[in-house]
């Protein structure tokens, strides 16, 4: 009887943990997709200052790399944001619609979202990579 009780407690713990993990990933998926939708919109409307807050810093300051977003008041950083946004805008302008595809966990706090940009019969799949930071999910790369 004691063994059955122990087995039941282990099973209950596993189910509860699994449910928590699934909920956390679903919550992260919603947050990442929301960030990506905002980034697409900010790129299209050339709201680079807003987009800067959604893109992970890449630069000389290693303490900020992938931990902080670009600073829109820094001209050099804003220029990097503009380059990224112009790549996104080019994909949007070449397509009549885009569809969100597979969402995957790359590692703890890092996720990828595949977006397919469609123009007629042509489809271009692009992967957007995000990392969780103190500022929420930030775009770290796209390919």
Distance CA 143, CA 126 (A): 6
Burial class (CB in 10 A: 0-12, 13-18, 19+), 1: exposed
pLDDT digits (tens, 9 = 90+) for 10-53: 544 544 444 444 445 578 999 999 999 999 999 999 999 999 99
- Is residue 70 within 8 A of residue 52, CB to CB? The reply is yes
The tokens for 48 are 């680079």
99: helix, coil or strand?
Answer: strand
Tell me the CATH number for domain 2-142: 3.10.450
- Is residue 31 within 8 A of residue 136, CB to CB? The reply is yes
Specify the residue for token string 């489809």.
123
Question: How open is the CA angle 1-12-110, to the nearest 5 degrees?
Answer: 150
The tokens for 141 are 């790369």
pLDDT digits (tens, 9 = 90+) for 71-96: 999 999 999 999 999 999 999 999 99
Specify the residue for token string 């790359």.
106
Q: How confident is the model at residue 8 (pLDDT cuts 50, 70, 90)?
A: very low
């Amino acid at each position: 009887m004691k063994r059955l009780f122990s087995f039941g407690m282990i099973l209950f713990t596993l189910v509860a943990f699994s449910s928590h993990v699934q909920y956390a990933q679903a919550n992260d998926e919603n947050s990442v997709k929301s960030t990506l939708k905002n980034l697409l919109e900010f790129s299209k409307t050339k709201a680079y200052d807003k987009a800067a807050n959604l893109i992970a810093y890449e630069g000389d300051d290693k303490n900020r790399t992938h931990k902080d977003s670009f600073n829109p008041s820094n001209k050099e950083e804003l220029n990097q944001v503009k380059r990224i946004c112009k790549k996104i805008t080019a994909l949007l302008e070449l397509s009549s619609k885009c569809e969100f595809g597979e969402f995957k966990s790359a590692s703890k706090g890092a996720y990828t979202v595949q977006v397919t940009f469609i123009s007629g019969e042509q489809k271009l799949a692009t992967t957007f990579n995000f990392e969780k930071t103190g500022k929420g999910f930030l775009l770290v790369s796209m390919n």
